[in-house]
Structure 1
């Protein structure tokens, strides 16, 4: 009745609950560094996929396709994560102060 597949499914479900409980308690100001750390972990996953792709002896074409697609999806995930993190960090940058207009000069776009 107790199979390794059932154990793996139970671990997956429990880890999902633990992950949700941990992430829901993170303050809003810490989400950006948390996402950057997660992107680094995804980079390690991509390296693992490269190792598996290189070490399989005599792989079939189907296995090569599956490994390549997994590698592409992992890479897209890493790049997309860093793009989103960069956009979130740019929201916190202060906007440049416009140069003061000299007295007596005409502003661009002013009505005549």
Structure 2
């Protein structure tokens, strides 16, 4: 194992641990805005995958770009579906009053 690979794996593992700690401490009221921000990041990943497609060569390169773009698109769409479902919890239901009266 090369020194560069070991350094890259160390950074990757530390970023996973840091991300888990940061996300784990987010209050419940901030989950919806956090999901919206994550959706914008996934959109940037999708745009990056499309830019990489310009320099892809060969069958393997095109397949890799296709898989990357497909996963990024699924992430974007899924994120917006989850955000919409979370926001649905805060909308008043038809036929109910907002004061809790019946």
Please give the TM-score of this superposition, normalised by the length of structure 2. Answer: 0.87
Q: How does 1:41-80 map to 2 (within 5 A)?
A: 41-56=41-56, 59-80=57-78
Off by >4 Å, runs of 4+ in structure 1: none
Q: SS in structure 2 opposite 1:55? A: coil
Structure showing greater radius of gyration is 1
Task: String of CA shifts for 1:77-100, please: whole Å, max 9, x gaps.
Answer: 1101100110110011111336xx
Q: How does 1:32-47 map to 2 (within 5 A)?
A: 32-47=32-47
Structure 1 residue aligned with 2:24: 24
Structure 1 residue aligned with 2:9: 9
Unaligned regions of 5+ residues in structure 1, if any? 99-112
Please give the TM-score of this superposition, normalised by the length of structure 1. Answer: 0.80
Unaligned regions of 5+ residues in structure 2, if any? 97-102
Alpha-carbon RMSD: 1.4
Q: Which of 92, 95, 98 is the equivalent residue of 1:97?
A: 95
